Amino acid sequence: MTPLAIRLYRILLRLYPASFRRGYGTGMAEMFSLRLTESARSHGIVGWLRLVAREYLGLLAGVARQRVIDAPKRPPPTRSGPRDKREIIATMLQEIRLAIRRLAKTPGFTSVAVVTVGLGIGANTAIFSLVNAIVLRPLPFPAADRGVRIHHRAPGIGLTGGLELTRGLYVFYRDQGSLLDEVAAYRENEFTITDDGEPIRVPAARATYTLGDVLGVPPLLGRWIRQDDVYADGTGIVVLSHGLWQSRYGADPDILGRSIRIDDVPFEVVGVMPSDFAFPSRDTQLWIPRVIPENTRFGGFGEYGVARLKSGVSALEAQADLNARLPSLPDRFPNARSVIDDAKIGVLLQPMKDYVVGDIEQTLWILLGTVGFVLLIACTNVANLFLVRAEVRQREIAVRTALGASQGHLIRLFLTESCVLTVAGSALGLALAWGSVRGLVWWGPPNIPRLHEVGIDGPVLAFTAAITVAAAVVFGVIPVFHRTHHIGATLRDGGRTVSAGRGQFSARNALVVTQVAVAMVLLVGSGLMVRSFWYLKNVDPGFDASSVLTFDIGLPSAAYPDRQRAAAFQQQLLDRLENLPGVEQAGAVSCLPLLGWCSGDPLYERGAPPDPGIIPPIVARRTVAPGYFEATRIPLLAGRLLDRSDHEQMTNAVVVSARLVELYWPMQDALGKQVFPGSDPEPDQWYTIVGVVGDVQTGKLSDGPSPLVYFPLVSTANSGPPPHIMTFTLRTTTPPLDLVDAVRREVWTLNSSLPLAMVRTLEQLISRASIQTTFTMLLLAIAAGVALLLGAIGVYGVISYVVSKRRNEIGIRIALGATQRDVRRMVLRQGGTAAALGVALGVAGALALTRLMDALLFGVSPTDPITFAAVATILLTTTLVACYVPARRAAGVDPVEALKAE
């Protein structure tokens, strides 16, 4: 807390005139921080808070003095001379002091109002700090607005985007892209660092030297990859991330020129990137050159591409320019003809920020809107408190007016109080926001980009200041407009009235209606999210996630140059793991479910060539080691599973998923069919389908399963992804993570330089897959809960107040023969009518607003009648319960007492 308070103090210091700041700014900041540190040590949190509040007020008073009273004595530019200003400021300071004194006399009112406003402002500040860091702030690259991601659509094979880049296209765009400054290609890999110390497996990028020019971030030490750097022949150069340099090499300033072993190959360190450089991802620890020569082959769509637009060129212009040139691609790469003619690819340039931020942007805006509503409810509650307060003080105000207080003076009276309250509330809110943002960054849910950039900074403080002013005005002005206009009457009857006027009640009813309506909208929003979450939790992932440990083993290709050797190692390891106590079944796969497409190709059937110009649907490819299906309990639907003999004898057997059968051979038997991922294989390379297994979710839970083909570790065509990087899946009889040490020992008996990477359970994988929905649901539910609570409190407050004002009227009614039931019903009817009106308005608002969240929902429509009905019921019940307490009190009024009090 102390650093934040000091930072805010420094920011506020800027309000002083520059000359003052130059002379005394440093000293003041230093004195403030010394005092704060001392106070935190000796006076505890209360003393600390008191000191902070006092110091801030002192600073602001000083600013007022410097800016206005002691301003350099220039001739007055307008009719208000320095003397007038001096008086105004003095009056203002005096009024603030008096307002604080008045508020301190009603601690109940003051603390409820401050906490309510604090919650509202805190929630808004916290969410805005996310919006600001993730969506609004440019990416941390120079000229970030000119960076684009290159990908392709291919309507010929049904792809609307997401097809990445090939080596050939990289060369082609570099030559032909006259509207692009520079183009870069990269691949994401993982490498094992094996120098002194424990071997670790780290995410890395192999990037063309041009990536440095595209991003334009200078290294912290040394240099970036150069054109003449190569990665071949068992040696190379490497650029380290700031994090790796610090954690593994102790921020050694002499790191440049040092040789480190990566996948058993010596690499020379030539540079270290700055700490905020996070490309392609925050996790990337190494950058190794990727060399793509001018005479490259066309290659597969396995590269990622980024480019920098020429200054003043839009992404769409550059995209149109490249697309116009694509037809000449086969002149340079003859084997790319089918890519143009059949797949009909077209290039897409996506602003880099859209790509990095992704679909969370919409979620964040919705959340910001939501907490905006919460603030609105909080403000109406406080406005209502002010109304009550204003009424209690009607007599005081009437006296003031009678003694000559002007309209303006009375407005100032209310506004000063509301300003003081909101400033206190926003200080509390700022503290809450700071704490919750810290908590969120610490929790660090994956799938939320740029989370490490989130913090409370200048724009966030400005935002808080803006909503603080808005809130102060909203609930400061309402009571002013509502002020009594009948001074004479108020003075005459000494503040006593038989019943309050109609106008006062209708203002209150309007507040109740607003609160209920806003709460309705929020509850519907969070209700829809809860239902989506529920459906998502109930999606069958296709496997049994309980008690399965998974981890990656990556074999360096220097030590395991071919598939046979890699497969032999993996099989040997599997045999050892199966014998571990606590392991029921062990298997391995090249890419786990829920992690995405990983790799894919169109599948061709022997003897059934597709029509010319048609490319069959793309299927995802997996390499599996025996035991995978048993360990994950993916069910066998027909035929048999792959076993050890399939890769040892190279049987060319494959297993496919039910979805693939449905797509290729609906209503037919797939067993025995011969297939190949690509057209025209050698005759002995065709694969035979020997089994059909159940579907698994490949990407997002909400996307549904993709067609899959599972290859053995080794076969004649070796079409499966290479078995060098495999994810092991161990079904265990003990808690999975307890086995990690035993597993690591087994791995190290075989090869002591192999680290275990990505150790986790399948259950963790599933909860990660739904984390964004969980996150949104959680925040919306909290917001809606707070809205419901504040709404209920608001309704209770209003009805209680109305009942207390109508005591004598109720007494008369009872005296004239009304039963307790009649009185209860009368009060409930009043509350119920307002609530019903609020719900009706809320339904209309929700129908209009929940459309915006369509993309966040899963399995439920934005106008889901069940959710709407349930929420309306909850809301009406809550309001009626809130009315019931004052209704009972009203029914218990003793007519004699009530009339005597008059």
Partner 1 sequence: MSTQRPDPSGFLPLSNLSFHVLLALGDRRCHGYAIGKDVEKRSGGRLNPTTGGLYQALKRLDEDGLVEHAPAAADRSTDARRQYFKLTTLGRRVAALEAQRLHELVADARAKKLFTGSV
> Where on the chain is the footprint of partner 1 (CB under 8 A)?
20, 23-24, 26-28, 30-32, 34-35, 54-55, 57-63, 65-66, 70
Name the minimum Å distance from CB 101 to partner 1. 18
What is the longest distance spanned by two Cα atoms in the chain? 109
Name the minimum Å distance from CB 9 to partner 1. 8
Q: Measured at the alpha carbon of residue 436, what is the angle toward residues 431 and 437, in degrees to the nearest 5?
A: 100
Q: For residue 613, count other CB atoms closer than 10 A to its CB.
A: 11
Please state, in angstroms and rounded to a whole number, the distance separating the CA atoms of residues 769 and 805.
55
* Closest CB to partner 1 among residues 25, 435: 25
Say if CB 416 and CB 99 are below 8 A apart: yes
* Closest CB to partner 1 among residues 63, 870: 63
Partners of 636 in the beta sheet?
693
Residue type, 570: Q
Please state, in angstroms and rounded to a whole number, the distance separating the CA atoms of residues 150 and 348.
6
* Closest CB to partner 1 among residues 31, 402: 31
Name the minimum Å distance from CB 100 to partner 1. 15
Strands 180-193, 200-207: parallel, antiparallel or unpaired by DSSP? antiparallel
* Closest CB to partner 1 among residues 65, 768: 65
Find all residues with CB under 8 Å of 282, minimum gap 6, and list them: 452
Name the minimum Å distance from CB 425 to partner 1. 22
Name the minimum Å distance from CB 131 to partner 1. 33
* Closest CB to partner 1 among residues 23, 81: 23
Strands 708-711, 180-193: parallel, antiparallel or unpaired by DSSP? unpaired
* Closest CB to partner 1 among residues 73, 485: 73
Name the minimum Å distance from CB 194 to partner 1. 46
Say if CB 543 and CB 716 are below 8 A apart: no
Coil, strand or helix at 877: helix
CA-wise closest residue to 878 among 841, 821, 835: 835
Strands 618-625, 708-711: parallel, antiparallel or unpaired by DSSP? parallel
* Closest CB to partner 1 among residues 58, 446: 58
CA-wise closest residue to 61 among 111, 22, 104, 100: 100
Q: Measured at the alpha carbon of residue 506, what is the angle toward residues 501 and 510, in degrees to the nearest 5?
A: 160
Lookup: tokens for 272: 């270290």
* Closest CB to partner 1 among residues 39, 879: 39
Q: For residue 198, count other CB atoms closer than 10 A to its CB.
A: 10
The number of residues making up the chain comes to 902
Name the minimum Å distance from CB 93 to partner 1. 12
CA atoms within 13 A on the CB side of 690: 14
Name the minimum Å distance from CB 472 to partner 1. 22
Say if CB 720 and CB 621 are below 8 A apart: yes
Burial bucket for residue 194 (CB in 10 Å: 0-12, 13-18, 19+): buried
Name the minimum Å distance from CB 852 to partner 1. 46
Name the minimum Å distance from CB 4 to partner 1. 17
Name the minimum Å distance from CB 95 to partner 1. 19
* Closest CB to partner 1 among residues 35, 438: 35
* Closest CB to partner 1 among residues 20, 534: 20
* Closest CB to partner 1 among residues 58, 610: 58
Say if CB 129 and CB 587 are below 8 A apart: no
* Closest CB to partner 1 among residues 41, 486: 41
Coil, strand or helix at 637: strand
* Closest CB to partner 1 among residues 62, 372: 62
* Closest CB to partner 1 among residues 34, 489: 34
Lookup: tokens for 532: 């989506």
Lookup: tokens for 714: 């080794």
Name the minimum Å distance from CB 217 to partner 1. 33
Say if CB 472 and CB 415 are below 8 A apart: yes
Say if CB 686 and CB 754 are below 8 A apart: no
Lookup: tokens for 301: 């769509």
Name the minimum Å distance from CB 382 to partner 1. 28
Name the minimum Å distance from CB 91 to partner 1. 19
Partners of 760 in the beta sheet?
550
Q: For residue 900, count other CB atoms closer than 10 A to its CB.
A: 10
* Closest CB to partner 1 among residues 32, 277: 32
* Closest CB to partner 1 among residues 38, 738: 38
Name the minimum Å distance from CB 164 to partner 1. 54
Say if CB 394 and CB 387 are below 8 A apart: no
Q: 493-516 in b/e burial notation, b at 16+ Cβ within 10 A?
A: eeeebeebeeebbebbbebbbbbb
Name the minimum Å distance from CB 15 to partner 1. 11
* Closest CB to partner 1 among residues 30, 669: 30
Find all residues with CB under 8 Å of 575, minimum gap 6, and list them: none
**Integer-rounded Cα radius of gyration of the chain:** 35
Name the minimum Å distance from CB 44 to partner 1. 18
Name the minimum Å distance from CB 32 to partner 1. 5
Secondary structure (DSSP) of 369-406: HHHHHHHHHHHHHHHHHHHHHHHHTHHHHHHHHHTT--
* Closest CB to partner 1 among residues 255, 427: 427
Find all residues with CB under 8 Å of 409, minimum gap 6, and list them: 400
Partners of 604 in the beta sheet?
676
Distance, C-alpha 774 to centroid of its chain: 11
Say if CB 702 and CB 666 are below 8 A apart: no
